[in-house]
A and B are shown apart, each in its own frame.
Chain A
Amino acid sequence: MQVPASFDYRRATSVAEALELLRRYGEEARVVAGGHSLLPMMKLRLAGPELLVDINDLHELDHIEQVGDELHIGALTRHRTLLESPLVGRYFPIVHDAEKVIADPPVRNRGTIGGSLCQADPSEDLSAVCGALHARVVIRGEAGERIVPMADFHQGPYETAVGVGEMLVQVRIPVLPGAGSAYEKVERKSGDWAVAAAGVALTLREGRIAESGVGLAAVGAGALNLGPVQELLDGNEPSESLYEEAGRLASANCSPVTDGRGSAEYKRHLAGELTRRALRRSVARARTAQGTTGEA
Chain B
Amino acid sequence: MTAVDEPPVTPQEPEQGQGRGQGQAHERPIGFGRMKRKEDPRFVRGKGRYVDDIQLPGMLHGAVLRSPFAHARILSVDTSAAEAHPKVKAVITGETLAGLGLAWMPTLSMDTQAVLATDKVRFQGQEVAFVVAEDHYAARDAIELIDVEYEPLDPVVNARHALAPEAPVIRDDLEGRTDNHVFDWEAGDSAATEEVFARADVVVEQTMLYPRVHPAPLETCGAVAAMDPVDGKLTLYSTTQAPHAHRTLYAMVAGIPEHKIRVVAPDIGGGFGNKVGIYPGYVCAIVGSIVTGRPVKWMEDRSENLMSTSFARDYHMAGEIAATREGRILGVRVKVLADHGAFNSTAQPTKYPAGFFHIFTGSYDIEAAHCEVTGVYTNKAPGGVAYACSFRVTEAVYLIERLVDCLADELGADPAELRMRNLLRPEQFPYENKTGWTYDSGDYPACLRKAMDLVGYEELRKEQSEKRARGELMGVGLSFFTETVGAGPRKHMDILGLGMADGCELRVHPTGKAVVRLSVQTQGQGHETTFAQIVAEELGIPPEDIDVVHGDTDQTPFGLGTYGSRSTPVSGAAAAVVARKVRDKARIVAGAMLEVAPDDLAWTKGRWSVEGDPSMAATIQEIALAAHGSLELPDGVEGHLEATTVYNPPSMTYPFGAYVCVVDVDPGTGSVKVRRFVAVDDCGTRINPMIIEGQVHGGLADGIGMALMEIIGFDEDGNCLSGSFMDYLLPTALEVPAWELDHTVTPSPHHPFGAKGIGESATVGSPPAVVNAVLDAIGVRHADMPLTPSRVWQALQGGEVEAPQ
Chain B residues contacting A191 (CB-CB under 8 Å) are 732
- Which of B52, B302, B709, B794 is in CB contact (< 8 Å) with A188? B709
**Given A1-B301, A188-B788, are A266 and B735 neighbors across the interface (CB < 8 Å)?**
no
Confirm or deny: A24 has a beta carbon within 8 angstroms of a beta carbon on chain B.
Answer: no
Chain A residues contacting B724 (CB-CB under 8 Å) are 44
Chain B residues contacting A45 (CB-CB under 8 Å) are 144
A-B contact pairs, 20 of them (CB 8 A): A1-B52, A3-B137, A3-B140, A5-B140, A6-B137, A6-B141, A44-B303, A45-B144, A186-B671, A186-B789, A188-B708, A188-B709, A190-B732, A192-B726, A262-B793, A263-B790, A263-B794, A266-B794, A267-B790, A277-B668
Closest residue on chain A to residue B721 by CB atoms: A260
- The interface centre, meaning the residue of B726, B734, B789, B790 with most chain A CB atoms within 10 A of its CB, is B790
Q: Complex: how many Å from CA A191 to CA B709? A: 13
Q: Complex: how many Å from CA A262 to CA B788? A: 8
Whether B726 and A262, one on each chain, are in contact in the complex, defined by CB atoms closer than 8 angstroms, is: no
- Which of A3, A260, A266, A267 is in CB contact (< 8 Å) with B713? A260
List the 3 closest A-B pairs by CB distance, nearest first. Answer: A262-B790, A190-B734, A266-B790
Q: Complex: how many Å from CA A195 to CA B672? A: 14
Whether B668 and A273, one on each chain, are in contact in the complex, defined by CB atoms closer than 8 angstroms, is: yes
Q: Mark B697-727, 1 if CB is under 8 A from A, else 0.
A: 0000000000011000100000001101011
**Which A residues between 166 and 194 are near B, CB-CB below 8 angstroms?**
186, 188-193
Whether B793 and A188, one on each chain, are in contact in the complex, defined by CB atoms closer than 8 angstroms, is: no
Chain A residues contacting B132 (CB-CB under 8 Å) are none
Q: Complex: how many Å from CA A35 to CA B727? A: 19
Q: Mark B763-795, 1 if CB is under 8 A from A, else 0.
A: 000000000000000000000000011100110
**Given A1-B136, A3-B140, A266-B790, are A190 and B301 neighbors across the interface (CB < 8 Å)?**
no
Question: How near does chain B come to A279, taking the closest CB pair, in angstroms?
Answer: 14
Whether A189 and B299, one on each chain, are in contact in the complex, defined by CB atoms closer than 8 angstroms, is: no
Whether A195 and B789, one on each chain, are in contact in the complex, defined by CB atoms closer than 8 angstroms, is: yes
- Which of B671, B708, B732, B790 is in CB contact (< 8 Å) with A261? B790
Confirm or deny: B731 has a beta carbon within 8 angstroms of a beta carbon on chain A.
Answer: yes
Q: Complex: how many Å from CA A5 to CA B138? A: 9
Q: Mark A89-110, 1 if CB is under 8 A from B, else 0.
A: 0000000000000000000000
Whether B301 and A2, one on each chain, are in contact in the complex, defined by CB atoms closer than 8 angstroms, is: yes
Chain A residues contacting B790 (CB-CB under 8 Å) are 195, 261-263, 266-267
Whether A188 and B137, one on each chain, are in contact in the complex, defined by CB atoms closer than 8 angstroms, is: no
Q: Complex: how many Å from CA A32 to CA B301? A: 23
Confirm or deny: A128 has a beta carbon within 8 angstroms of a beta carbon on chain B.
Answer: no
- The interface centre, meaning the residue of A6, A188, A191, A261 with most chain B CB atoms within 10 A of its CB, is A188
Closest residue on chain B to residue A273 by CB atoms: B668
Chain A residues contacting B141 (CB-CB under 8 Å) are 5-6
Q: Mark A262-296, 1 if CB is under 8 A from B, else 0.
A: 11011101100110010000000000000000000
Whether A2 and B302, one on each chain, are in contact in the complex, defined by CB atoms closer than 8 angstroms, is: yes
Chain B residues contacting A277 (CB-CB under 8 Å) are 668
Whether A260 and B722, one on each chain, are in contact in the complex, defined by CB atoms closer than 8 angstroms, is: yes
Q: Complex: how many Å from CA A1 to CA B141? A: 13
**Given A261-B790, A266-B794, are A3 and B136 neighbors across the interface (CB < 8 Å)?**
yes
User: Which residues of B line the A interface, CB within 8 A?
Assistant: 52, 136-137, 140-141, 144, 299, 301-303, 668-671, 708-709, 713, 721-722, 724, 726-727, 729, 731-732, 734-735, 788-790, 793-794
Chain B residues contacting A273 (CB-CB under 8 Å) are 668-669
Chain A residues contacting B708 (CB-CB under 8 Å) are 188
Question: How near does chain B come to A280, taking the closest CB pair, in angstroms?
Answer: 12
Chain A residues contacting B140 (CB-CB under 8 Å) are 3, 5
Chain B residues contacting A265 (CB-CB under 8 Å) are 794
**Given A1-B136, A2-B301, are A269 and B732 neighbors across the interface (CB < 8 Å)?**
no
Chain B residues contacting A270 (CB-CB under 8 Å) are 669
Q: Complex: how many Å from CA A263 to CA B802? A: 11
Q: Mark A31-63, 1 if CB is under 8 A from B, else 0.
A: 000000000000011000000000000000000
Chain A residues contacting B731 (CB-CB under 8 Å) are 189
Q: Complex: how many Å from CA A193 to CA B724? A: 13
Question: How near does chain B come to A143, taking the closest CB pair, in angstroms?
Answer: 38
Closest residue on chain A to residue B220 by CB atoms: A1
Q: Complex: how many Å from CA A155 to CA B752? A: 71
Closest residue on chain A to residue B303 by CB atoms: A2
- Which of A1, A186, A260 is in CB contact (< 8 Å) with B669? A186
Chain A residues contacting B671 (CB-CB under 8 Å) are 186
Closest residue on chain A to residue B135 by CB atoms: A3
Question: How near does chain B come to A36, taking the closest CB pair, in angstroms?
Answer: 11
Q: Identify 14 new A-B residue pairs, CB closer than 8 A, beyond the known A1-B52, A260-B722.
A: A1-B301, A5-B141, A44-B303, A44-B724, A45-B144, A186-B671, A188-B789, A189-B729, A190-B732, A261-B788, A261-B790, A262-B788, A262-B789, A263-B790
Q: Complex: how many Å from CA A95 to CA B669? A: 22
**Given A188-B729, A273-B669, are A1 and B735 neighbors across the interface (CB < 8 Å)?**
no
Whether B301 and A192, one on each chain, are in contact in the complex, defined by CB atoms closer than 8 angstroms, is: no
Chain A residues contacting B713 (CB-CB under 8 Å) are 260
Chain A residues contacting B732 (CB-CB under 8 Å) are 189-191
Chain B residues contacting A5 (CB-CB under 8 Å) are 140-141
Whether A266 and B793, one on each chain, are in contact in the complex, defined by CB atoms closer than 8 angstroms, is: yes
Q: Complex: how many Å from CA A40 to CA B713? A: 21
Q: Mark A56-96, 1 if CB is under 8 A from B, else 0.
A: 00000000000000000000000000000000000000000
- Which of A1, A44, A260 is in CB contact (< 8 Å) with B727? A260
Chain B residues contacting A263 (CB-CB under 8 Å) are 790, 794
**Which A residues between 190 and 245 are near B, CB-CB below 8 angstroms?**
190-193, 195
Question: How near does chain B come to A200, taking the closest CB pair, in angstroms?
Answer: 16
Question: How near does chain A come to B598, taking the closest CB pair, in angstroms?
Answer: 59
Closest residue on chain A to residue B728 by CB atoms: A260
Chain B residues contacting A260 (CB-CB under 8 Å) are 713, 721-722, 727
Closest residue on chain A to residue B792 by CB atoms: A266
Q: Complex: how many Å from CA A193 to CA B708? A: 16
- The interface centre, meaning the residue of B137, B302, B669 with most chain A CB atoms within 10 A of its CB, is B669
Chain A residues contacting B721 (CB-CB under 8 Å) are 260
Closest residue on chain B to residue A274 by CB atoms: B669
Q: Complex: how many Å from CA A3 to CA B790? A: 34
Closest residue on chain B to residue A5 by CB atoms: B141
- Which of B136, B729, B793 is in CB contact (< 8 Å) with A269? B793
Closest residue on chain A to residue B731 by CB atoms: A189
Chain A residues contacting B303 (CB-CB under 8 Å) are 2, 44
Chain A residues contacting B52 (CB-CB under 8 Å) are 1
Question: How near does chain B come to A83, taking the closest CB pair, in angstroms?
Answer: 16
Q: Complex: how many Å from CA A6 to CA B85? A: 14
Q: Complex: how many Å from CA A267 to CA B789? A: 10
Q: Complex: how many Å from CA A267 to CA B487? A: 47
Question: How near does chain A come to B800, taking the closest CB pair, in angstroms?
Answer: 12
Whether A192 and B136, one on each chain, are in contact in the complex, defined by CB atoms closer than 8 angstroms, is: no
Q: Complex: how many Å from CA A270 to CA B789? A: 10
Closest residue on chain A to residue B799 by CB atoms: A265
Question: How near does chain B come to A11, taking the closest CB pair, in angstroms?
Answer: 21
Q: Complex: how many Å from CA A189 to CA B302? A: 19
Q: Mark A1-26, 1 if CB is under 8 A from B, else 0.
A: 11101100000000000000000000
Chain A residues contacting B727 (CB-CB under 8 Å) are 260
Q: Complex: how many Å from CA A189 to CA B669? A: 14
- Which of B136, B735, B793 is in CB contact (< 8 Å) with A189? B735
Closest residue on chain A to residue B299 by CB atoms: A1
Closest residue on chain A to residue B671 by CB atoms: A186
Q: Complex: how many Å from CA A193 to CA B540? A: 55
Q: Complex: how many Å from CA A273 to CA B732? A: 27
Closest residue on chain A to residue B722 by CB atoms: A260
Q: Complex: how many Å from CA A115 to CA B582? A: 66
Closest residue on chain A to residue B140 by CB atoms: A3
Chain B residues contacting A44 (CB-CB under 8 Å) are 303, 724
Question: How near does chain A come to B709, taking the closest CB pair, in angstroms?
Answer: 5
Q: Complex: how many Å from CA A269 to CA B790? A: 10
Chain A residues contacting B789 (CB-CB under 8 Å) are 186, 188, 195, 262, 266
Question: How near does chain A come to B723, taking the closest CB pair, in angstroms?
Answer: 9
Closest residue on chain B to residue A192 by CB atoms: B729
Q: Complex: how many Å from CA A266 to CA B791? A: 9
Whether A189 and B709, one on each chain, are in contact in the complex, defined by CB atoms closer than 8 angstroms, is: yes
